[in-house]
Amino acid sequence: MARITDILRTSFRPAVPGLVLLALAACAPTGEQEVQRALRDVDVIDQSGLNDVMMSVASPEEAVAYFTRVTREAPDRIDLQRGLAKSLLRAGQTTEGVAAWEAVARRADATDADRVDLAGAYIRTNEWDRARAMLGTVPPTFESYERYRYEAMVADAAEDWARADSYYETAAGLTTTPAGVLNNWGYSKLTRGDYLAAERLFTDALRHEPDLFTAKNNLVMARGAQRNYTLPVVPMTQQERAQLLYTLALAAIKQNDLTIGRGLLQDAVETSPVHFEEASRALEALG
């Protein structure tokens, strides 16, 4: 932690000495108190940049350690508390992350965006009723991609398909990178048995993000459910091709198309650039 923090702080220091000197020159006539305030202002600017880097570049564990320390040093700063909450969730510490977001949401200066993030934290821990209740506290006038994405997921969990579809559509229109929400929407359609609609949504997700493997795998599942056992024409590595053949094979076996499933398993084993343990075991079981 010390190493990356020192490196990051160093990267933000070049402009600081000049700023400090300017602050000192400007504040000298008014005394030591004004000098100290100016220095604190410089530190805040420096720390804000460091906060952004810790969220985007540092490992989740480093970010948690950093924000844990700085929130203890400045417990009144809500931006640091937000950073801690986000870092905890990013590190997979969901229980602690929920508690951190709850602490943020209780503050008088909490925003609607904070309450939406708390709802998202509840979703991560499968607390759907609490997520729904928290979203209910956010006024309809507050519109954001995250808000509608979470609304869609909550509606999905309640099997309120009409509301889910409406929210997914709205969320997809509020972001320039809709692949993730289109993939979620497609999976929702897949679980409902609407395989053609699911296939269209997965294809659309891949149009926006060709490397999204979960969408490729879901697309193959949607095709397999329709007894279409050919791979879609999408970019894929050799290992991805083997995995997708395996997914198709399982879909065929599930529908009792055993001969097709056996052939697909054999193709998966032969295609994989490394030993494919799952496909090999399934092939032996069929044999």
pLDDT exceeds 80 at position 66: yes
Report residue 47's pLDDT band, with 50, 70 and 90 as the boundaries: low
Angstrom CA distances, 30 to 24, 25, 35, 112, 159, stand at: 10, 10, 8, 40, 65
The per-residue pLDDT for range 107-117, each reduced to its tens digit, is 999 999 999 99
Q: Is residue 16 part of a domain?
A: yes
Q: Is residue 98 part of a domain?
A: no
Residue 275: give the domain boundaries: 236-287
pLDDT exceeds 60 at position 52: yes
Residue, of 29 and 239, whose pLDDT is higher: 239
58, 88, 104 - which closes a domain = 58
Q: Is this structure's pTM higher than 0.85?
A: no
Q: Is residue 148 part of a domain?
A: no
Report residue 59's pLDDT band, with 50, 70 and 90 as the boundaries: confident
Instruction: Give me the number of domains the chain comprises.
Output: 2
Residue, of 8 and 204, whose pLDDT is higher: 204
pLDDT value for 30: 54
Distance of CA 168 to the CA centre of its chain: 16
Report the range of poorest mean pLDDT among 26-35, 175-184, 226-235.
26-35
The per-residue pLDDT for range 120-130, each reduced to its tens digit, is 999 999 999 99
Q: Is residue 126 part of a domain?
A: no
Calpha distance 40→32 (Å, rounded)? 12
pLDDT value for 54: 77
Longest dimension (CA), the chain: 90
Question: For a pLDDT cut of 90, what percent of the chain falls above it?
Answer: 77
pLDDT value for 37: 53
